[in-house]
Amino acid sequence: MHETEIHDLSDDADYAASQQQGSASIMRSDSGRQSSSSEPDGAEVVYSKDNVTIHPTQFASERISGRLKLIKQGSSLFMTWIPYKGQSSNARLSEKDRNLYTIRAVPFTEVRSVRRHTPALGWQYIIVVLSSGLAFPPLYFYNGGVKEFLATIKQHVFLVRSAEDANVFLINDFENPLQRTLSSLELPRAVSVGSGHSTSISVGESPLVETQERSNRNVRDGRLSVSEYSGRPRQKSQDPARDLSIHVLEKFSLVTKFARETTSQIFGEAHTNGFGAIEKRRYNQSSIDQPQKVSNSVEKVPDEAPIASDPLEKISCMKHNLGEEAATDVGNFELINCEEFDKLALVWGKPRQPALGPEEWVTFLDSEGRITDSKALRKRIFYGGVEHILRKEVWAFLLGYHAYDSTYAEREYFRSLKKSEYETIKNQWQSISPEQAKRFTKFRERKGLIDKDVVRTDRSLSFYDGDDNPNVNLLRDILLTYSFYNFDLGYCQGMSDLLSPILFVMGDESESFWCFVSLMERLGPNFNRDQNGMHTQLFAISKLVELLDSPLHNYFKQHDCLNYFFCFRWVLIQFKREFEYEKTMRLWEVLWTHYLSEHLHLYVCVAILKRYRNKIMGEQMDFDTLLKFINELSGQIELDAVLRDAEALCICAGENGAACIPPGTPPSLPIDNGLWYPQQDDVL
Amino acid sequence: MDLNLFFVAGVGKSCLLLQFTDKRFQPVHDLTIGVEFGARMITIDNKPIKLQIWDTAGQESFRSITRSYYRGAAGALLHSSFRRETFNHLASWLEDARQHANANMTIMLIGNKCDLAHRRAVSTEEGEQFAKEHGLIFMEASAKTAQNVEEAFIKTAGTIYKKIQDGVFDVSNESYGIKVGYGGIPGPSGGRDGTSSQAGGCCS
CATH value at residue A615: 1.10.472.80
* Interface residue of B33, B92, B94, B114 to substitute, partner A, most A CBs within 10 Å: B33
Return the sign of the alpha-carbon dihedral for residues A674, A676, A680, A681: negative
Its domain, for residue A491, covers 407-529
The count of structural domains within chain A is 3
- Amino acid of residue B124: T
CATH value at residue A508: 1.10.8.270
Q: Which of A119, A162, A548, A554 is nearest to A298 (CA)?
A: A119
Q: How far is CA A466 from the centre of its chain?
A: 43
Q: Helical H runs in B59-186?
A: 63-70, 84-100, 124-134, 149-165
In a domain, residue A653? The reply is yes
Domain boundary among A503, A529, A555: A529
Interface residues on A facing B, Cβ-Cβ cutoff 8 A: 441, 445, 448-449, 452-453, 455-460, 492-494, 496-497, 527-531, 534, 563, 565, 568-569, 572-573, 577, 619-620, 622-624, 627-628, 631-632, 679, 682-684
Q: A562 and A491, same structural domain? A: no
Mean pLDDT of A284-306: 37
Q: Which residues of A54-67 are buried (b: 16+ CB within 10 A; e: fewer)?
A: bbbbeeeeebbebb
Taking residue A440's Cβ as centre, other Cβ atoms within 10 Å add up to 15
CB A241 within 8 A of CB A164: no
In a domain, residue B203? The reply is no
In a domain, residue A391? The reply is yes
Q: A638 and A574, same structural domain? A: yes
Q: Is B31 helix (H, G, I), strand (E, B) or coil?
A: coil
Ranked by mean pLDDT, the top range of A11-25, A212-226, A239-253, A426-440 is: A426-440
Find the CB nearest B30 among A456, A563, A679. A456
In a domain, residue A680? The reply is no
Q: A535 and A392, same structural domain? A: yes
A174: DSSP letter? T
Instruction: Report residue A564's pLDDT band, with 50, 70 and 90 as the boundaries.
Output: very high
Q: Helical H runs in A45-94?
A: none
CA distance B96 to B189: 30
B23-61 pLDDT, tens digit each: 887 777 788 888 888 888 888 888 888 888 888 776 777
How confident is the model at residue A674, as a pLDDT?
43
B111 touches chain A (CB under 8 A): no
pLDDT cut 90: percent of chain A above it? 41
CATH value at residue B42: 3.40.50.300
A478-496 pLDDT, tens digit each: 999 999 999 999 999 999 9
B68 touches chain A (CB under 8 A): yes
Q: A471 and A441, same structural domain? A: yes
In a domain, residue A115? The reply is yes
Q: Which of A195, A155, A148, A154 is nearest to A30 (CA)?
A: A155
How confident is the model at residue A485, as a pLDDT?
97
CB A577 within 8 A of CB A569: yes
Taking residue A120's Cβ as centre, other Cβ atoms within 10 Å add up to 4
Q: Is A484 helix (H, G, I), strand (E, B) or coil?
A: helix
Instruction: Report residue B9's pLDDT band, with 50, 70 and 90 as the boundaries.
Output: low
CA distance A300 to A656: 28
Q: Which residues of A589-614 are buried (b: 16+ CB within 10 A; e: fewer)?
A: bbbbbbbbbbbbbbbbbbbbbbbbbb
Find the CB nearest B28 among A459, A679, A683. A459
What residues of B are in contact with residue A577 (Cβ under 8 Å)?
30, 33
Q: Is A113 helix (H, G, I), strand (E, B) or coil?
A: strand
What residues of B are in contact with residue A453 (Cβ under 8 Å)?
31
B35 touches chain A (CB under 8 A): yes
Q: Which residues of A376-391 are buried (b: 16+ CB within 10 A; e: fewer)?
A: ebbebbbbbbbeeebb
Own/partner contacts of A579-588, CB < 8 Å, gap of 24 or more, are A579/A635, A579/A637, A579/A639, A580/A635, A581/A458, A581/A461, A581/A501, A581/A504, A582/A388, A583/A639, A584/A501, A585/A385, A585/A388, A585/A391, A585/A501, A585/A505, A586/A355, A586/A385, A586/A639, A587/A639, A587/A643, A588/A501
CB A619 within 8 A of CB A590: no
Find the CB nearest B33 among A565, A573, A684. A573
- The residue ranking higher by pLDDT, A182 or A668, is A668
Cα B107 to Cα B5, B52, B93, B171, distances in angstroms: 9, 15, 12, 18
ipTM: 0.79
A531–B4 CB contact, under 8 Å: no
B33 touches chain A (CB under 8 A): yes
In a domain, residue A169? The reply is yes
Q: How far is CA B25 from the centre of its chain?
A: 19
Q: A566 and A590, same structural domain? A: yes
- The residue ranking higher by pLDDT, B182 or B9, is B9
Among left, alpha and beta (phi > 0; psi -120 to 50; other), residue A221 is alpha
Domain boundary among A529, A553, A568: A529
- Phi first, then psi: give them for residue A184, nearest 5 degrees: -65, -25
How many H helices and E strands in chain B?
A: 5, 7
B34 touches chain A (CB under 8 A): yes
Of A9-23, A443-457, A603-617, where does mean pLDDT reach its minimum? A9-23
The count of structural domains within chain B is 1
In a domain, residue A321? The reply is no
In a domain, residue A87? The reply is yes
Q: How far is CA A609 from the centre of its chain?
A: 12
B85-128 pLDDT, tens digit each: 667 777 877 887 777 777 778 888 888 766 555 566 677 888 88
CB B76 within 8 A of CB B97: yes
Instruction: Report residue B131's pLDDT band, with 50, 70 and 90 as the boundaries.
Output: confident
Ranked by mean pLDDT, the top range of A87-101, A329-343, A608-622 is: A608-622
Tell me the shortest Cα–Cα distance from A678 to chain B, in angstroms.
Answer: 12
CB A584 within 8 A of CB A388: no
How confident is the model at residue A309, as a pLDDT?
38
**Quick one: A194 exposed, middle or buried, by C-beta within 10 A (0-12, 13-18, 19+)?**
exposed
Largest CA distance in chain A: 105
Q: Which of A581, A613, A557, A603 is nearest to A502 (CA)?
A: A581
Chain A with chain B: Cβ pairs closer than 8 A? 86
Domain boundary among A529, A554, A581: A529
- Amino acid of residue A93: L
Peptide bond into A240 cis (omega under 30): yes
How confident is the model at residue A344, as a pLDDT?
39
Q: A167 and A64, same structural domain? A: yes
Cα B114 to Cα A202, A277, B15, distances in angstroms: 82, 58, 11
